[in-house]
Chains A and B, each alone.
Chain A
Amino acid sequence: DTEVTQTPKHLVMGMTNKKSLKCEQHMGHRAMYWYKQKAKKPPELMFVYSYEKLSINESVPSRFSPECPNSSLLNLHLHALQPEDSALYLCASSQDMAYEQYFGPGTRLTVT
């Protein structure tokens, strides 16, 4: 199984809502990533977990809160988002840091 799954595919939320994005892989990968991607721009790294520990947090606002409950699962908790947070959120995993990354299909988030 070389698939990274993400749910939901689409999410529309108000600025006062709390929601979560979910990412799952069963390849035994030990690094998992969250990226934010806006149209015509490259993916921006938000968080990296390595061996279930938060390894990199690229100065992301606290309204985004990552969680890695186990080695296969990565969540991104969202609270009090702003309209400018509307974007495609991609999850990826890799065998270890700097190895080739396997990406999920992304969650298209719209904040109203």
Chain B
Amino acid sequence: ILNVEQSPQSLHVQEGDSTNFTCSFPSSNFYALHWYRWETAKSPEALFVMTLNGDEKKKGRISATLNTKEGYSYLYIKGSQPEDSATYLCAFFASGGSYIPTFGRGTSLIVHP
């Protein structure tokens, strides 16, 4: 069983605040890391697919970094808006052929107007 941890479990911020959260994963046998956003009553939506150590990806106000050597990825949201309120999930894929995703429990973000 692979250990994929996300922290914090939940986060309340004010509109306009910048925030970040962490996904930790095994540093050996890395293949890929995905970030997903899951809004209430909607389907999880892919944000980023990260495969290379040192990757930095950006989509609007959201960005992510990857450190495969130490086994973590950060997700940053700049200037949070109420519509950013969602659960953010990471999914770790180990190398070795099966490519089974292991999801973290998610970080629940609530942005207050």
Q: Which residues of A does B touch, CB under 8 Å? A: 4, 40-45, 48, 55-56, 58, 90, 92, 97-106
Docked complex Cα distance between A100 and B101 (Å)? 11
The answer to whether the Cβ of B31 comes within 8 Å of any Cβ in the partner chain is: yes
Chosen A-B contacts, 22 in total, with CB atoms closer than 8 Å, are A42-B4, A42-B89, A42-B103, A42-B104, A43-B103, A44-B103, A48-B100, A56-B98, A58-B100, A90-B43, A98-B32, A98-B93, A98-B99, A100-B49, A101-B34, A101-B36, A101-B44, A101-B101, A103-B43, A103-B45, A105-B42, A105-B43
The answer to whether the Cβ of B46 comes within 8 Å of any Cβ in the partner chain is: yes
How many residue pairs link A and B with beta carbons under 8 A? The number is 49
In the complex, the answer to whether A90 meets B31 with C-beta atoms within 8 Å is: no
Q: Which residues of B does A touch, CB under 8 Å? A: 4, 31-32, 34, 36, 42-46, 49, 89, 91, 93, 98-101, 103-106
CB-CB under 8 A from A45, the residues of chain B are 100-101
Interface of A is mostly: loop
A4 is contacted by which of B43, B100, B105 (Cβ under 8 Å)?
A: B43
CB-CB under 8 A from A103, the residues of chain B are 36, 43-45
In the complex, the answer to whether A98 meets B105 with C-beta atoms within 8 Å is: no
A56 to chain B, nearest CB (A): 6
